[in-house]
Amino acid sequence: MDEKQIAPAIVTEVPWSESLTAYDDKHFELYLKLMDACADSASEEEMAQDILGLDPVKEPIRARKALRSHLKRVLWFMHKGYKELLPSQAPQ
């Protein structure tokens, strides 16, 4: 089965919150793929096509907006959101 057929739906604007969202939970693997693609210096077009499943030629504006929105969320996750995945540290 094609991975794109079973992947969660991609929105143009990621729902924003200062906490992890249901969208984040459903798209965690996608966020990891975007991190990896950035580390490999993939182009925006490659990331939009290969990771988000959006055609940057047929839908250039949507592909760019969706990718940048997801990358912004990935950056937030890398700097702040990941802390919600760690066990709480109770004061001793």
Residue 1 predicted with pLDDT over 50: no
Mapping DSSP to helix (H, G, I), strand (E, B) and coil, where does residue 61 land?
Answer: helix
Q: What are the residue boundaries of the structural domains of the chain, listed by start?
A: 17-81
Residue 52 predicted with pLDDT over 70: yes
**Chain CA centroid to CA 85, Å:** 16
Q: Per residue in 76-90, pLDDT tens?
A: 999 999 999 888 765
Straight-line distance from the first to the last Cα atom of the chain, in angstroms, rounded to the nearest whole number: 51
- Mean pLDDT computed over every residue of the chain: 89
The better pLDDT of the pair 32, 3 is held by: 32
Confidence band, pLDDT 50/70/90 cuts, at residue 2: very low
